Amino acid sequence: MDNRPIGIFDSGLGGLTGLKALRRFLPEENIVYFADSGRVPYGEKTRVQLRGMARQNLSFLSGFGVKAILIACGTLSSNAGDILAEWPVPAVGVLSSSADWMSRLEGDSPVAVIATAASISSGAYQRALEAACPGRRVLGIPCPDFVPLIESGHTDASDPLVQDAVRRYLQPAREADAGVLLLGCTHYGIIEEAITDFLGSEVTLVSAAESGAAALCSQLLKRKMTGGSGNIRYYTSGDPAVFAEAASLFLGCREEEIHAEAVPPQPIPEG
């Protein structure tokens, strides 16, 4: 039995989709969750900045003696995959795990991936999906307004601001008759209902967060590194009260159950 915690980090609330999935797969694991809300959104940062931030966040969680880390952030996974692969603590990003998941899906309809502007401009998701889904057209669609909307509390499928953003960004996927949509940013699972309402239930949605959690779970089971007491510790570089309120709504628990500790935002690397 390995009682060391699992580390999870994201730019904010999005990684909670990964935490939720991991709790479903391995409910007894201890978890340290870091929401880097003080530096959100990541999608507007340069590649150099993102790579430096990846190292900072990995180092922060490694300081808790974690046995593995889930990088529940598509933006960092698509811009710093080599850093994750070389990190001394086993680190799973959502990009490679999502591509592996997509490779198992049958059909020949176009596939689309929605993510932050930085993720799509890197081309990493598109290349990974082209390799995973040979012969299928791949559309990469940046959705820069989604994360700020979600972080500011606009998540309901009936919210006009959410509906407008979904309509603006996902029209190309509808026009291309995409049969599969990868939610390449973990935040996007929070507005999954609005996305399905627009595209229709016949379009298969694949969650990068769930793919990453499943991949990490598989690694830990193979290495016999599971075990814990189900304890979760939350840290945020933003406002702990704001994080706790939003996290409790998404996780379906009381706000007082989310004991988020504040940590100062680290300087954004130059570049």
Each residue's pLDDT, cut to its tens digit, for the chain (271 residues) gives 899 999 999 999 999 999 999 999 999 999 999 999 999 999 999 999 999 999 999 999 999 999 999 999 999 999 999 999 999 999 999 999 999 999 999 999 999 999 999 999 999 999 999 999 999 999 999 999 999 999 999 999 999 999 999 999 999 999 999 999 999 999 999 999 999 999 999 999 999 999 999 999 999 999 999 999 999 999 999 999 999 999 998 898 998 889 999 999 999 998 7
Residue 108 lies in a domain: yes
The verdict on 105 and 178 lying in the same domain is yes
Give me the sign of the Cα torsion angle 186, 191, 194, 197.
Answer: positive
Alpha-carbon span 109 to 72, nearest angstrom: 27
Judge whether 1 lies within some domain: no
Question: Angle, nearest 10°, between helix axes 94-103 and 208-222?
Answer: 90
Q: Torsion-angle region of residue 64: left (phi > 0), alpha (psi -120 to 50) or beta?
A: alpha
Which residue range(s) make up the domain with 13?
A: 6-93+210-262
Within a domain: 271: no
Q: Is 253 a catalytic residue?
A: no
SS3 181: strand
Q: Cα–Cα distances in Å, from 211 out to 36, 70, 96, 103, 170?
A: 21, 11, 9, 12, 22
| 214 CB burial (10 A radius; 0-12, 13-18, 19+) | buried
What pLDDT is attached to residue 109?
A: 96
List the alpha helices (DSSP H) in 80-156: 81-86, 94-103, 117-122, 124-132, 146-151
Residues 159 and 127 in one domain: yes
- For 15, counting Cβ atoms within 10 Å of its Cβ (0-12 exposed, 13-18 middle, 19+ buried), the class is buried
- Say if residue 22 is in the same domain as residue 116: no
Within this chain, do residues 249 and 191 fall inside the same structural domain, yes or no?
A: no
Q: Which two tokens stand for residue 194?
A: 């609005």
Among candidate residues 73, 133, 143, 217, the one labeled active-site is 73
* 170 and 103 inside one domain: yes
| Residue of 143, 185, 217, 253 with catalytic role | 185
Which pairs from 177-180 meet CB under 8 Å and 24+ separation?
A: 177/109, 177/110, 178/109, 178/110, 178/111, 178/112, 178/139, 178/203, 179/107, 179/109, 179/110, 179/111, 179/203, 179/204, 180/102, 180/105, 180/107, 180/109, 180/111, 180/112, 180/204, 180/205, 180/206
pLDDT of 256: 87
The whole-model pTM stands at 0.94
217-225 CB contacts, 8 Å cutoff, 24+ apart: 217/22, 217/25, 217/26, 219/68, 219/90, 219/92, 220/2, 220/6, 220/26, 220/67, 220/68, 224/2, 225/2, 225/67, 225/68
Same domain assignment for residues 193 and 228: no
Contact 42, 118 (CB under 8 A): yes
143 in active site:
no
23 with 84, same domain: the answer is yes
Smallest CA-to-CA distance from 17 within 215, 204, 211 is with: 211
Same-domain pairing of 204 and 100: yes
